[in-house]
Amino acid sequence: VVGEVKKPLLTDISEVKKLQPPYDVLETIDEREVNRLCKDTDLFVIAWTTVRHFERMQFLLGPEELYPELLYGSKYLYLLMQSLHDFFLAELRLWCSTDVDAVSFMDDWGSQNSMLVSPELWRRLFRPLYREYCELIHAAGKHVFFHSDGFIEPIFPDLIEIGVDAVNSQLFCMNIEDLGRKYKGRITFWGEIDRQRILPFGTKQQVSDAIRRVKNALWNPEGGVIAQCEFGLQDPPDNIKTVFETWEEITRTHHALD
């Protein structure tokens, strides 16, 4: 759970002209150490970046100031978006110069039952930025991983079209079977399980059933599912263990059938 910023850095969007993105932070990333880690492991290495355009704008302005700006679009909005975009491109170029296998970025676009902005607004303002991120990452020979919480089904086709390889979303906020019918084999589903109800409050059997529901709806050799589980400190350890035990059982059965 992420709280809302109550005292944003910018008290008015016109102050964006004073904004200085922290490029010096990028200098703290040790590329040689990253490459050493990649060389010394046979694991798939994902670079977790700070690229979260929509959320960063909320952090800087606060949601009360940002949402009207997104709707009406003053010149300061576009100055802010460009400033952030330039910084994020610099960060992505840095990670793309390393030996990681994938680069991830994120933005939480969904509420429980709908998107926080209209799909049309998202396509007009943010899809072009995301496309540029995907093109940069793919040009470096790496996979694009993207995370977004909430109900984001309306932009699944867009994520596929711009080149997202794997998406981590709150599947249980949406119709999982419908997602499978529309998008299975076109994108990899990077997890997950219901962390609002089943994982914290369900039985082990309910957890196992939920995993099998994801498998039955989304598993496809051409796109498939990555077994992933995001959990909280208070979630029952037995339920978390059951998530991975169930995936291991599914994998063993699948290989045995092959």
Sequence-ordered list of residues with C-beta below 8 angstroms from that of 194, at least 6 positions apart, any chain:
171, 172, 202, 210
Q: What is the pLDDT of residues 30-69, one digit of tens each?
A: 999 999 999 999 999 999 999 999 999 999 999 999 999 9
Domain 13-169 has CATH 3.10.20.30: no
Whole-number Å distance between alpha carbons of 206 and 216: 15
Instruction: Check residue 138 and give its pLDDT.
Output: 99
Domain boundary assignment for the chain: 13-169
DSSP string, 77-98: HHHHHHHHHHHHHHHHHHHHTS
Instruction: Check residue 251 and give its pLDDT.
Output: 86
How far does Cα 38 stand from its chain's mean position? 22
Q: What is the pTM of this model?
A: 0.94
Q: What is the pLDDT of residues 154-213, one digit of tens each?
A: 999 999 999 999 999 999 999 999 999 999 999 999 988 999 999 999 999 999 999 999
Instruction: Check residue 255 and give its pLDDT.
Output: 66
Q: How confident is the model at residue 116 (pLDDT cuts 50, 70, 90)?
A: very high
Sign of CA dihedral 145, 25, 110, 139: negative
